[in-house]
Amino acid sequence: MVGIQIIPAWLKHAPDIGLTVIDLIAPFFIFAIGLTFGLSFRHRIERDGAFRTYSYFLTRYLAIIGLGAIISAGETAIGQNPSGIDWGVLQAIGMAGLVTLVVIRLPSIYRWLIGAGILLAYQLILDNFLLDLTLRSPHGGLFGSIAWAAMLILGTALADLFHGEDKARKAFPWASLAVLVTGIALAFVSPVSKHRVSVPYVLISLGISALLFIVFHWASDIRNWNSRLLLAWGKNPLSLYFLHYILIGIFFLPGIPILYAAAPIWVVLVEIAILLVGISLVAMWMDRKNIIIAL
C-alpha cells in the first residue's frame, strides 16, 4: 500500500539495501514458527503416525499460501501491486514451511548444514541470474521463498538447542549470537536487503529474533513477568493479522488523502490507537471465550 508520508523512513521497509525495524517483522514470524515446528511435528507423529502428521502440515502450509493469495489478489484489485507479481508474506511463510517439512525429521546438524547450503546456493544464483526479478517481486517472490525456507530450517535447528538438555540450552544464546555476528560479517560481502532476502539479512534477522526471544523468555520464566495481552495475541496470530488488514482498510479504501497518505501526525496517532486497541480487544475476547483459530 502507499505509505503514510509523515512516517519516517526508518519505520518503513527499506527500499532495497538496508535494515529497518519493520524489516524484522516477517523474521519474527518465521522464528516463532521454527521454535515450535519440531516439537509439534514430533508430538503429532508419535500420536497420529507419519501419514496423518505430514498431511496435517502439508494442508496447513498450503492453506497459508492460499490465504496469502487472497490478500494479494485484493491488493492487486485496488492497484497496490505495481509489479504485477502477487506474492505476499503469507506465501513466503507457507512455502518456507513446505520446504522445511521435507527436512524436519533430520537431526539438527543436518538441518544446520542444509540451511547454510541453501543460503549459499541462493545467494550465488541471486547475484548472477535473478537479482532483477527478485527485486521486482514482493518478499523476493517464489525464488525468494528459498531463502525464507533456509531461515526457517535454521530456526528449527536453533530451537532444538533451546528445547534440548541443559548443556544444549546453555549453548542457545551463543549460537544465536554467532548467527547474528556471521550475518554482520557477511554484510561486508553482500548487502543486507529484505527485498533480496540476502544471506546477511536472513542471518542478522534470525539472530536478532532469537536474542529477542531470550529476553522475553528471561522476563517471563526467570522474573515471572506474564502478559496476558501478549498471550492472547499469540493464540490467534493469523486471525489478528487478517483483522489488521480490515482496520487499515477502513482508513485506506475511501481514498481520502488526509485519512492515509497525507494524514497529519495526530490522525496517524489516533489510527494507530484504534488499530492496537481494536486488535487487543478482539484478542482478549477470543482468549476469554477460549476461541483459537489455528492452521
Q: How far apart are CA 250 and CA 260, in angstroms?
A: 10
For residue 21, the model assigns a pLDDT of 93
Sign of torsion, CA 61 43 30 123?
Answer: negative
Q: CA distances (Å), 44 to each of 39, 51, 234, in order?
A: 9, 10, 21
pLDDT digits (tens, 9 = 90+) for 135-148: 988 889 999 999 99
For residue 82, the model assigns a pLDDT of 60
- Print pLDDT tens along the chain (295 aa): 457 888 888 888 888 999 999 999 999 999 999 999 999 999 999 999 999 999 999 999 999 999 888 888 777 776 666 655 678 889 999 999 999 999 999 999 999 999 999 999 999 999 999 999 999 888 899 999 999 999 999 999 999 999 998 889 999 999 999 999 999 999 999 999 999 999 999 999 999 999 999 998 888 776 666 678 888 888 888 889 889 888 988 888 888 899 888 999 999 999 999 999 999 999 999 999 998 887 6
For residue 225, the model assigns a pLDDT of 65
For residue 150, the model assigns a pLDDT of 98
DSSP string for residues in the chain? -PPPTTS-GGGS--SSBB--SGGGHHHHHHHHHHHHHHHHHHHHHHHH-HHHHHHHHHHHHHHHHHHHHHHHHHHHHTT--TTS----HHHHHHHHHHHHHHHTTS-HHHHHHHHHHHHHHHHHHIIIIIHHHHHHSGGGHHHHHHHHHHHHHHHHHHHHHHHS-HHHHHHHHHHHHHHHHHHHHHTTTS--BTTTT-HHHHHHHHHHHHHHHHHHHIIIIIS----HHHHHHHHSHHHHHHHHHHHHHHHHTT--GGGTTT--HHHHHHHHHHHHHHHHHHHHHHHHTT-----
- Whether the model clears a pTM of 0.75, i.e. scores above it, the answer is yes
C-alpha cell at 102: 521435507
**What are the residue ranges spanned by the domains of the chain?**
16-225, 227-295
